[in-house]
Amino acid sequence: MSAARQVVQRILAGREFQANGTAKAYAPANIALVKYWGKRDEALNLPVTGSLSISLGPLGSHVELARAESAGDRVWLNGQPLPADSSFARRASAFLDLFRPAKDFGFALKARNTVPTAAGFASSASGFAALAKAADGLFGWGLAARELSILARLGSGSAARSLADGFVEWQAGTAADGLDSFAERLDAEWPELRVGAVVLCSDEKPVGSREGMKRSVETCEFYREWPGRVARDLAALKTAIAKKNFAALGEVAEGNALAMHALMAATLPPIVYALPETVAAMRTIWTAREAGLALWFTMDAGPNVKLLFEAKDESRVREIFPAVEVVAPFG
Ligand code: 2P0
């Protein structure tokens, strides 16, 4: 039995697998302010370090899950039926295998993303988080948020952070089975906070995160510096959030993203996601900041930048980046 399936059995010990009607669930997408880059266990998506994200409220994934009339899963994405060999259907079915009561039990899954696919926010985190919640609803397990976070992580690491709104911290944990590696909401609100997506290129990335982080752990000479850096950044970010110090939040998030991209560049073979337009956008942000605008950015495993600012500066930010898609994570 796979390591992931063993973990699922441990969490679901004593629970029934009786499917009831159609379960609906929603989970928000999230953007990390202190990043996850590197695993200590690939089968269970256990991270080397903790990470801290902000959930994107109404941008996320809605799913409906029911038992299909016959064996074999039926998967729809944004209203379209998908061939079973499409990458989305294959990933969803592989995740649902963890909960499948019998080989001839097929799932009917309808997923709808409100994360615009072209906006540069990943929908896999919200998708697996919503799917874990929907499975919980379909079988009536009544799992706790921590347990749902662990199940979602088995689909994709960053999905562990998509079970809650607001600021969410994912603990790396130390247990081999990962039962101590889950994410929880921080007790903090920041209604003025804004995240802006600036899409510079929506082509498929040359190296996926899963492959990229594995390569960094194995070959990047300064990967050993990363856990210490993350620990310092997590502490500084939590202080910034507690004090609502926006400049401190921006500084930590931008610095952490640039440090992650430095790790990527020092990986063999090197991984450089930035395009000339990415570097130009960074310089524009730095110039605006020198002129007094409280604007910072973060970047994930791709060439697009995500702006961090407060509501009072939104019109100035829109003047600089007219195509920005703005999200208010706290509504
Ligand atoms: C993050 N990323 O913290 C980091 C920053 C990308 C860069 O989590 O292999 O899709 O499914 O655990 O979660 C993307 O990695 O990887 C990611 P898996 P995942 O948001």
Residue 200 contacts residue 278 (beta carbons within 8 Å): yes
Q: What is the reported pLDDT for 206?
A: 86
> Is residue 117 over pLDDT 80?
no
Q: What is the reported pLDDT for 1?
A: 80
Going by pLDDT thresholds of 50, 70 and 90, the confidence category of residue 118 is low
> Is residue 122 over pLDDT 70?
yes
Which one, of 280, 232, 290, lies nearest residue 256 by Cα? Answer: 232
| Mean pLDDT computed over every residue of the chain | 96
**Which residues have any ligand 1 atom within 6 Å of their CB?**
32, 35-37, 45, 51, 124, 156-158, 209-210, 300-301
> Is residue 25 over pLDDT 70?
yes
User: For tokens 């600012």, what's the residue?
Assistant: 309
Ligand 1 atom 10: residue of nearest CA: 156
Residue 289 C-alpha to ligand 1 middle, in angstroms?
A: 28
Pairing of strands 183-185, 193-198: unpaired
> Is residue 119 over pLDDT 70?
no
Which segments of the chain are extended strands (E)?
Answer: 23-34, 39-41, 46-47, 51-67, 74-77, 80-82, 107-113, 167-170, 183-185, 193-198, 296-299, 305-310, 325-327
Which one, of 125, 95, 123, lies nearest residue 109 by Cα? Answer: 95
Residue 297 contacts residue 195 (beta carbons within 8 Å): no
Find the mean pLDDT for residues 226-233.
Answer: 98
Structure tokens at 8: 């699922």
* Ligand 1 atom with least separation from CA of 34: 3
| Chain segment 177-196, per-residue pLDDT in tens | 999 999 999 999 999 999 99
CA 73 centroid distance within chain? 25
Give Dmax over CA atoms of the chain in angstroms: 63
Q: What is the reported pLDDT for 116?
A: 75
Structure tokens at 187: 């007790």
Find the mean pLDDT for residues 27-36.
Answer: 98
Angle at 169 between CA 159 and CA 297, to 5 degrees: 85
| Chain segment 41-85, per-residue pLDDT in tens | 999 999 999 999 999 999 999 999 999 999 999 999 999 999 999
Residue 7 C-alpha to ligand 1 middle, in angstroms?
A: 21
Percent of the chain with pLDDT over 90: 95
Residue 71 C-alpha to ligand 1 middle, in angstroms?
A: 32
Question: What count of Cα atoms within 13 Å lies in the side-chain half-sphere of residue 45?
Answer: 23
**Phi, psi (degrees; rounded to nearest 5) at 283:** -65, -40
* CB-based burial, 165-176: b 16+ in 10 Å, e otherwise: bbbbbbbbbeee
* Residues 6+ positions from 67 with CB-CB distance below 8 Å: 19, 105, 106, 107, 108, 138
Residue 209 C-alpha to ligand 1 middle, in angstroms?
A: 6
Q: What is the reported pLDDT for 121?
A: 82
Substitution site in 30, 90, 95, 213 for ligand 1 pocket (most atoms within 8 Å of beta carbon): 213
User: For tokens 């919640």, what's the residue?
Assistant: 133
Residue 308 contacts residue 326 (beta carbons within 8 Å): no
How far apart (Å, rounded) are the C-alpha atoms in residues 99 and 85? 20
